[in-house]
Amino acid sequence: MDGGHDVVLHARNSMRITRTTAARYTGVITGDLAHQDEIHDVAQQAAQFGRFDTVIHNAGVLSGPDTVTVNTVAPYLLTALIDKPARLIYLSSSMHRSGSTDLRRLTSGAATYNDTKLWVTALALACATRWEGTTSHAVDPGWVPTRMGGPGASDDLSAGHQTQTWLATHADVTPSTGGYWYHQQLQTPHSAARQTDFQTRLIQDLEHLTGTKLG
């Protein structure tokens, strides 16, 4: 239990789980999201807990060969494979605004962090009205001093998770779905993220890449 809520965490592997962590939360799911077979295994582990109220797609890498898989393919696959929760939350970044709409980059090896964050933002907004009873939002947590953000990051570390927590636990969010948020304030995302044509092409390409339909 955490703040009155049952929380299930995800960790890349069991070496990252301490006894304190395991004791504090309802459960811990393990799997490296850089590999599609392990993403499928993560989904199977999640199914053992039943339907979630909220799923937060928080994992991310800044650069390297796993950027597309971790930042875009993993949230897509997990969305497709896990029983649809009441609320979906996807971590974006202000850097998504300079991402490319060239979806050939999904498989070319040329994709940047900015590209992957544009794509996952478009995925979040595409899911906003896709399933009855499921809402979906994208969140920019800000430039916070995590291992990825570095010690020089200018945003407050504690504020980095507050919007996700708020979206996960409050019933009076407006709009109830399809928002792009920064510190609990609505922001305007890259125009392509809201374009139905781009969302459709993205989902089709991800379906082809993964062999898994979004449903």
Domains in the chain with CATH codes: 50-210 (3.40.50.720)
Helices (H), the chain: 19-24, 36-47, 67-68, 74-81, 105-108, 113-126, 162-169, 196-210
Cut 0.85: pTM above it: yes
- Return the active site residues: 113, 117
**What is the mean pLDDT of the segment spanning 135-160?**
69
Tens of pLDDT, residues 181-206: 999 999 999 999 999 999 999 999 99
Q: What is the mean pLDDT of residues 61-69?
A: 96
Answer yes or no: are the C-beta atoms of 116 and 100 closer than 8 Å.
no
**Whole-angstrom Cα distance, residue 20 to residue 24?**
6
More confident residue, 156 or 194: 194
For the chain, the farthest-separated pair of C-alpha atoms sits apart, in whole angstroms, at 47
Q: What rounded mean pLDDT belongs to the chain?
A: 91
